[in-house]
Structure 1
Amino acid sequence: MTAETDLRSPDGFVYASLPQLMALEHHSRGLSFLSRQPLSSILSGAHASRLRGRGLSFDELRNYTPGDDLRHLDARATLRYGKPFVRTFTEERDRPTLLLVDQRMNMYFGSRHCFKSVAAAQLASLCAWMAFHAGDRVGGLVFGDETLEHIRPQRSRARIEALCAAVIRANHALHAALPEAGQPDRLDTVLRHCLASAGHDHLICIISDFAGAGDQTLQLLRQLSAHNDVIAMQVYDPIALQFPDKGRITITQGSVQRELQVDKRQVHGPLGDFLSGRLRDVAELLRRSRVPLMMFSTGEEVLGQLRLELGRLTGSAR
């Protein structure tokens, strides 16, 4: 085994592995994006069903027959024609789910438990299995700083394996010698690609730290959510919330690296404020987009956080 291979061993903390992601199927059972609340729940948006494409769609207006649900009486048609009419509905059971999985160099960082890139990989797998068990087709866009792999939605275990394999390829392409990202608008480019390919009535989960997000990102998110259900899953490192007050850290910008003594006041204050402020700014931008936001720390296990976040958004205990 070479030193390079050993460096990238899939330990689940710095690098993920395909068997680890596929094994998350068992843990995904019982989890759902569907709200059990009334139609005013946070996932309902401006459309009728709890999640677009997973509720009831109008089928036809017809004469009332004994046994029809009286709640489906159409008052206008009944008054107009002088006899009872009911609206009938069909349940939409199949809906494409797209997972946008960020594996850029900005994700190759973690101060506790695991790197952001690994947390994103685990979230992608859990979401894929959740959609699969809900009867949906599953696909995704896996992107790095220079790469973009599009896995078209299908409902099969082989397609989930293909998606997870794409995530692993992008994950294992990350290493410390790579320069930090060259395209500041990379996230916007991927969102435009998603906008062109998704059409409407998709569930779109964006799993990223949202580095580089700005006004254009806000506009693209609003365009996506106009005809699809969009959920933002922001992955962050706990160092952004509680900056260490002693020791040394190494910061990088491209090929330039510098070690800083964090217990120095001129270092600790400005850098801590910058990291926490950036996290708040991105979260505020996502809230302005009116896209439901879930936040995931790399300092804790992803599965437990996903259960809590789903419960918070849908208002149901899990």
Structure 2
Amino acid sequence: MSVLSPELLREIRSIEIVTRRLVDQQMSGQYHSVFKGRGMSFDEVRAYIPGDEPRLIDWNVTARTGSPHVKTFVEERELTVFIAVDMSGSMAFGSVRDEKRVVAAKVAAMMAFSAIANGDRVGLVAFTDQVERYVPPKKGRKHVLRIIDEILRFDPVGHRTSLVNALEFIGHIAKRKAVVFLISDFLDSDYERPLHVVAGRHDLIPITIVDPAEDVLPDLGLVFLEDAETGELVPFDTSARRSRAGYAAAQRARTQARDYDLKRYGVAPIRVMTNAKDYAGPLINYFRIRARRS
């Protein structure tokens, strides 16, 4: 692994300070309320105590010893969390402050620090039109810093997006039920089938990263719009009000169609804007809503 530049070290440290403060003060409790573990696992058999539930009686041990015994269980707290981050060309776009990829790193850091604060293991899946990097789930601060580092300085081979390949990879490696944060701008199509499979087996949470310029174009006259994933240049007259209105309408339709597809499979997307003062706000609101429902 190459030596990190001072600038990148400062960026990683800055993200750690901000996100850990948010996690400690606001997100940790919400995360814990939503993700309580896989369930209950067998602990031991002990003598019956008045008040124990009859359904917990171990009849084999009771018959063998001649006195009632019950099975006890403990909660399986540890979860496995996968953070899948889109590293395609479109995620390098940023018109205001941070590129979408940097916002994705900050969001991933919040989720990762929340996970380890909860005693969970967290891993990374970095993808473009293929899965380019996989960091297996582990615990600990150093592991989270590695994940942030991987996202910030990763130089992808591919430029296009394939949510299909990312979802199929997760479906292959996640043998038991896991929490999957899918962070992307979702500039892709035809991923419904693997999304349905992953959402059916795991707790899938899509997080959409959106730059404001993708929703509404400013009046800049004649410009050439470049497809970040194909490199194709298309002339566009932003001074024409009708053109800007048509662009905005097309973007709204695309967003509505994407959200409809996600909700159809029981997953509600979290929308994070790159120009937001607080990237944690939408995440905290999401956890609060889910905590009330659980």
- TM-score interval, smaller chain: 0.7 to 0.9
Return the offset for 1:61: 10
Taking a change above 3 Å as real, the CA distance of residues 255 and 219 of structure 1, as seen in their structure-2 partners, is: closer
- Confirm or deny: 8 A CA contact 1:73 1:87 kept in the other structure: no
Runs of 5+ consecutive residues of structure 2 not aligned to the other structure: 1-6
- The secondary structure found in structure 2 opposite 1:290 is coil
**Match of residue 308 from structure 1:** 285
- Confirm or deny: 8 A CA contact 2:207 2:271 kept in the other structure: yes
TM-superposition CA deviations, 1:246-272 (whole Å, max 9, x none): 334541133333453323144223211
Return the offset for 1:115: 2.3
**Match of residue 293 from structure 1:** 269
1:158 aligns with 2:142: yes
- Confirm or deny: 8 A CA contact 1:98 1:202 kept in the other structure: yes
Q: Using the alignment, how far apart are the partners of 1:105 and 1:270 within structure 2?
A: 24
1:247 aligns with 2:214: no
1:22 aligns with 2:52: no
1:193 aligns with 2:169: yes
Alignment of 1:88-127 (within 5 A): 88-127=72-111
Q: Using the alignment, how far apart are the partners of 2:69 and 2:210 within structure 1?
A: 53
User: TM-score scaled to structure 2, two decimals?
Assistant: 0.79
Partner of residue 65 from structure 1, selected from 38, 41, 48 = 48
- Confirm or deny: 8 A CA contact 2:38 2:78 kept in the other structure: no
Return the offset for 1:107: 1.4
- The secondary structure found in structure 2 opposite 1:230 is strand
- Confirm or deny: 8 A CA contact 1:201 1:227 kept in the other structure: yes
- Confirm or deny: 8 A CA contact 2:259 2:268 kept in the other structure: no
- The secondary structure found in structure 1 opposite 2:262 is helix
Q: State the AA in 2 paired with 1:130.
A: S
Aligned residues between the structures: 274
Q: Using the alignment, how far apart are the partners of 1:271 and 1:97 within structure 2?
A: 37
**Match of residue 46 from structure 1:** none
Q: Using the alignment, how far apart are the partners of 2:138 and 2:32 within structure 1?
A: 24
Alignment of 1:47-86 (within 5 A): 51=35, 54=37, 56-59=39-42, 65-69=48-52, 72-74=53-55
Q: State the AA in 2 paired with 1:291.
A: V
Return the offset for 1:289: 1.7
- Confirm or deny: 8 A CA contact 2:101 2:152 kept in the other structure: no
Taking a change above 3 Å as real, the CA distance of residues 281 and 67 of structure 1, as seen in their structure-2 partners, is: same
- The secondary structure found in structure 2 opposite 1:74 is helix
**Match of residue 6 from structure 1:** none
- Confirm or deny: 8 A CA contact 2:80 2:179 kept in the other structure: yes
Q: State the AA in 2 paired with 1:20.
A: S
User: TM-score scaled to structure 1, two decimals?
Assistant: 0.73
Identity, % of aligned positions = 19
Alignment of 1:113-262 (within 5 A): 113-145=97-129, 148-170=132-154, 173=155, 181-182=159-160, 186-214=162-190, 217-241=191-215, 243-244=216-217, 246-248=219-221, 250-253=224-227, 254-262=230-238
Q: Using the alignment, how far apart are the partners of 2:56 and 2:70 within structure 1?
A: 9
Instruction: State the superposition RMSD in angstroms.
Output: 3.4
- Confirm or deny: 8 A CA contact 1:74 1:85 kept in the other structure: no
- The secondary structure found in structure 1 opposite 2:124 is strand
**Match of residue 281 from structure 1:** 257
Q: Using the alignment, how far apart are the partners of 1:25 and 1:160 within structure 2?
A: 11
Q: State the AA in 2 paired with 1:213.
A: S
Q: Using the alignment, how far apart are the partners of 2:196 and 2:68 within structure 1?
A: 40
Taking a change above 3 Å as real, the CA distance of residues 250 and 117 of structure 1, as seen in their structure-2 partners, is: farther
Q: Using the alignment, how far apart are the partners of 1:68 and 1:134 within structure 2?
A: 31
**Match of residue 4 from structure 2:** none
Taking a change above 3 Å as real, the CA distance of residues 77 and 219 of structure 1, as seen in their structure-2 partners, is: farther
Runs of 5+ consecutive residues of structure 1 not aligned to the other structure: 1-8, 11-15, 37-49
Return the offset for 1:123: 0.5
